[in-house]
């Protein structure tokens, strides 16, 4: 009688172990997908760690080099409708007077982007900036210094 109960317990333990293993495999089986490859030059290069997203799923980030002045860019990546490539838009090219961006961005509920630069500004020691979106067009932003 005791042998039968031990056999039931072992069978139940094995079944629970197999189910747990299958669930763990399903949960951690992820797919990596290529979103965008930077080309350098006016496209921007030397990506700064981290991106932020808005409620529409767009991603925003910075590069510390490249762009029209070779001082870095602020960019937007817009997802495609399907599994196709994302669309990249350079929102801002850093001029030498602002310096290059070296930190990732923050975004607020209004869609303003905030970041810092390594050098530039009044004392050439860097600035904190705000990139404010216009009322109707998200893809083109005006750079403003926070007041």
DSSP string, the chain: -HHHHHHHHHHHHHHHHHHHHHHHHHHH-----------SGGG-EEEPS--EE-TTS-EEEEEEE-STTSS-EEEEEE--SSSSPPEEEEEEE--TTT--B-S--EE-TT--EEEEBSS-STTSS--EEEEEPPSS-TTS-EEE---
The predicted structure's pLDDT at residue 44? 86
Q: Is the pLDDT higher at 13 or at 83?
A: 83
Q: Which pLDDT band holds residue 139 (cuts at 50, 70, 90)?
A: very low
Contacts with 141 (C-beta within 8 Å, 6 or more apart), sequence order = 74, 91, 92, 113, 131, 132, 133, 134
- What are the contacts of 134-141 at 24+ separation with CB within 8 A? 138/56, 138/58, 138/76, 138/111, 139/76, 139/89, 139/91, 140/91, 141/74, 141/91, 141/92, 141/113
Q: Is the pLDDT higher at 137 or at 65?
A: 65
Q: Which pLDDT band holds residue 16 (cuts at 50, 70, 90)?
A: low
pLDDT exceeds cutoff 60 at 142? no
Q: Contact 74/115 with Cβ under 8 angstroms?
A: yes
Look over the chain and give the mean of its residue pLDDT values, rounded to a whole number: 76
52/66 Cα distance (integer angstroms): 20
Rg (CA), the chain: 24
The predicted structure's pLDDT at residue 60? 92
How much is the pTM? 0.69
């Amino acid at each position: 009688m005791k042998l039968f109960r031990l056999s039931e317990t072992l069978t139940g333990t094995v079944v629970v172990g197999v189910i747990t293993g299958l669930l763990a495999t399903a949960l951690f089986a992820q797919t990596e997908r290529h979103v965008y490859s930077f080309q350098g030059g006016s496209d921007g290069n030397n990506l700064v760690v981290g991106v932020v997203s808005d409620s529409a799923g767009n991603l925003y980030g910075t590069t510390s080099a490249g762009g029209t002045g070779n001082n870095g860019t602020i960019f937007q990546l817009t997802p495609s409708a399907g599994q196709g490539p994302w669309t990249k838009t350079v929102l801002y090219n850093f001029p030498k007077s602002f310096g290059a961006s070296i930190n990732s961005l923050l975004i607020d509920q209004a869609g303003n982007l905030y970041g810092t630069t390594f050098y530039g500004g009044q004392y050439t020691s860097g600035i904190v900036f705000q990139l404010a979106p216009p009322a109707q067009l998200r893809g083109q932003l005006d750079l403003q210094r926070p007041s």
